[in-house]
Amino acid sequence: MIIEHGVYRDNLSGHCDINKLFYGEEPAVSRAEFKLREAIHKFDVSIEKCQALDLGAAPGGWTKVLADAGVEVTAVDPGELDPVIGGLPNVKHIKSRVEDWQCDQKYDLIVNDI
């Protein structure tokens, strides 16, 4: 993949590229935050007043994006979440492998960056 002026040359969408959309911003947890923010923007995903499940959540970049938007997030991962994420009141961390966890509720949105 060739990068020209901070943008992937082969990107099919000229207006949606994490390098252009979030240039100059620093992620709080990981660059993965930018991927979810781009998807929400690109596909016009409404996440207001929703219950979300983040599978493979650690260190918590995607969980943070959702939690910052006011979403109630259940983060499932055996790894630790970043301390910034672990203290958020709308985040519940289930320290388990996804395949070992029994889901007992419905979610409006499921995200996965495994």
Token pair of 79 as six digits: 């790894």
What pLDDT does residue 5 have?
53
Where do the domains of the chain lie, and which CATH numbers do they carry?
Answer: 3-112 (3.40.50.150)
Q: What is the CA radius of gyration of the chain?
A: 15
What pLDDT does residue 6 have?
52
Contact 111, 54 (CB under 8 A): yes
The ranges of the chain with pLDDT < 70 are: 1-28
Q: What global pTM score does this model have?
A: 0.77
What pLDDT does residue 30 have?
78
Neighbours of 49 (CB within 10 A): 9
What pLDDT does residue 33 have?
85
